[in-house]
């Protein structure tokens, strides 16, 4: 029986420089979670539930599910502290095509297109201060394709982040530190401002719907999707654990610190939304944070929150640029992606080619735009793979029972099983109720399967 002490799944990678400490690693997970979700999800949740108590419950449940998943990922990450995260865990537990398709979807479409879409949101808020950026002025044309001023601005952001992360993860981590501290401060400031200036406590009534029964589960399921999307960045630190100092000791800490901070921030911010705006006003709001700030201190508040959204989305883009290139790097090292991606820059010790490729694809996906449609199309795949990773934890417990596990999931196997049940509920809900929007993800998986069978099946 393998023990894992010297077998390949559990050896530490040393080629990438280990520069990320507790602060940088924690801010990566916080920066990955607190992004566009806290600004976009509340209105949809309020529309579906129409009750302040249930509205807050979604954010509590989202944080609780994130903790359950993070506990499982902490065991996986400390048992196999290598760059690549989910790809590594899936490769060890299941047939190689499962891991390949995960990496394919993440790198080729989901993260690169998502980064472009988040960039569109960031530049639209820049347009609050510099109207020319978001005015869709045609800068130049490529044949029949018109390139707008906002698109050029997104390209500039991607190019800047490409350079920052190309020259070293330390600099990317520093940038994440700065943007994460700024946006958390802004969001906490909004909550404190609401507490200081005051709102209307009647907005919290009735805290529990008078006609509450088991039928609420059919409504709560779709409403949870927005909250789960807002929390989904809790896996980010596992993706760069190969560059974290002393990962066996640090990784569990940063997951608890990062997710705990995000849950507290989310609850505080959503409490402030409810204190200032009614549940009906939240449901009708397109920019709930700006509306709340405007009611508190007028146009100055709208300006401040617009700046906070810019910082938040920029930080999320940077987190994507730090994490995603490590996926093809790990895949190529395992022989499950093109060898070109195994290149490590001789001076900066970064997966430089993967970073450049990620940026180029980000440029291409700016022609799609529509952040929301991309996220809706692939959110079920994101949670499908979260579930597969937790299932991998159970498989690896049986496959490598004697492997060194510096951290074990408390409440095993109940915590992993609970996570799997909830995730299955989310995936089934999305696919059955939103099948047409799920088709792009299915198409991407199908294309990835073809690529695997032609080029990588023998590997």
Residue 108: CB atoms within 10 A of its CB come to: 18
Chain centroid to Cα 158, Å, comes to 17
Residue 5: CB atoms within 10 A of its CB come to: 10
CA 138 vs CA 133, 298, 419: distances in Å: 11, 33, 48
Bridge partner list, 145: 142
Report residue 96 as tokens: 């190689």
For residues 277 and 274, what is the distance between their CA atoms, to the nearest angstrom? 5
Element (H, E) at 147: strand 145-148
- In this prediction, residue 7 carries a pLDDT of 45
Residue 441 contacts residue 378 (beta carbons within 8 Å): yes
- In this prediction, residue 381 carries a pLDDT of 82
- In this prediction, residue 266 carries a pLDDT of 92
- In this prediction, residue 6 carries a pLDDT of 41
What residues contact residue 129 under an 8 Å CB cut-off, 6+ apart?
303, 306, 307
Q: What's phi and psi for 148, nearest 5 deg?
A: -90, 165
The pTM for the full model equals 0.75
Instruction: Concatenate the DSSP letters of all residues of 231-269 into one string.
Output: HGGGGHHHHTGGGBSSHHHHHHHHHHHHHHHHHHHHHHH
CA 291 vs CA 195, 235, 281, 295, 427: distances in Å: 16, 31, 9, 6, 32
Which residue carries 């690896």 as its tokens? 396
Of 403, 24, 84, 406, the residue nearest 245 (C-alpha): 24
- In this prediction, residue 343 carries a pLDDT of 85
Residue 123 contacts residue 150 (beta carbons within 8 Å): yes
Model confidence pLDDT, tens digit, residues 88-111: 888 889 998 898 888 888 888 878
* Mean pLDDT per 10-residue interval, the chain, length 459 residues: 44 55 74 74 84 92 87 83 74 88 84 82 79 76 78 91 80 63 77 89 88 75 78 70 66 78 89 93 82 86 82 80 80 80 83 89 75 67 89 93 82 92 84 76 87 82
- In this prediction, residue 1 carries a pLDDT of 41
For residues 446 and 38, what is the distance between their CA atoms, to the nearest angstrom? 32
Of 110, 105, 15, the residue nearest 351 (C-alpha): 15
For residues 22 and 253, what is the distance between their CA atoms, to the nearest angstrom? 8
């Amino acid at each position: 029986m393998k023990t894992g002490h010297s077998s390949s799944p559990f050896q530490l990678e040393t080629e990438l420089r280990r520069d990320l400490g507790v602060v940088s690693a924690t801010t990566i997970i916080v920066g990955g979670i607190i992004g566009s979700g806290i600004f976009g999800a509340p209105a949809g949740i309020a529309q579906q539930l129409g009750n302040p108590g249930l509205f807050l419950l979604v954010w509590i449940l989202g944080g609780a599910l994130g903790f359950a998943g993070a506990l499982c990922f902490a065991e996986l990450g400390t048992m196999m502290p290598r760059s690549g995260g989910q790809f590594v865990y899936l490769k060890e537990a299941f047939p190689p095509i499962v891991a390949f398709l995960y990496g394919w979807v993440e790198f080729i479409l989901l993260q690169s297109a998502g980064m472009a879409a988040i960039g569109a949101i960031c530049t639209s808020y820049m347009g609050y201060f510099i109207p020319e950026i978001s005015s869709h002025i045609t800068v130049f044309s490529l044949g029949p394709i018109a390139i707008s001023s906002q698109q050029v601005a997104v390209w500039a952001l991607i190019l800047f982040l490409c350079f920052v992360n190309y020259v070293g993860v330390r600099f990317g981590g520093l940038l994440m530190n700065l943007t994460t501290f700024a946006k958390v401060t802004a969001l906490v400031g909004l909550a404190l401002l609401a507490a200081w200036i005051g709102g209307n406590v009647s907005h919290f009534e009735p805290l529990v719907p008078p006609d509450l029964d088991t039928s609420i589960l059919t409504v709560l399921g779709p409403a949870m999707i927005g909250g789960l999307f807002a929390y989904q960045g809790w896996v980010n630190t596992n993706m760069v654990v190969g560059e974290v100092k002393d990962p066996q000791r640090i990784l569990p800490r940063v997951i608890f610190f990062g997710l705990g901070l995000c849950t507290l921030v989310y609850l505080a911010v959503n409490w402030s939304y409810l204190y200032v705006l009614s549940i009906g006003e939240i449901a009708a709001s397109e920019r709930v944070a700006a509306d709340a700030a405007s009611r508190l201190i007028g146009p100055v508040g709208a300006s401040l929150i617009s700046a906070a959204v810019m910082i938040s989305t920029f930080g999320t883009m940077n987190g994507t640029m730090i994490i995603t290139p490590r996926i093809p790097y790990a895949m190529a090292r395992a022989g499950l992606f093109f060898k070109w991606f195994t290149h490590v820059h001789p001076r900066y010790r970064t997966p430089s080619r993967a970073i450049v490729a990620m940026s180029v694809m980000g440029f291409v996906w700016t022609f799609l735009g529509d952040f929301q449609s991309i996220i809706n199309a692939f959110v079920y795949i994101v949670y499908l793979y979260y579930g597969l990773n937790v299932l991998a934890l159970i498989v690896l417990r049986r496959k490598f029972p004697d492997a060194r596990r510096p951290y074990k999931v408390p409440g095993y196997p109940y915590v992993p099983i609970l996570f799997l049940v909830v995730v299955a509920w989310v995936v089934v809900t999305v696919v059955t109720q939103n099948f047409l929007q799920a088709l792009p993800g299915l198409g991407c998986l199908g294309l990835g399967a073809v690529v695997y069978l032609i080029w990588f099946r023998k590997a």
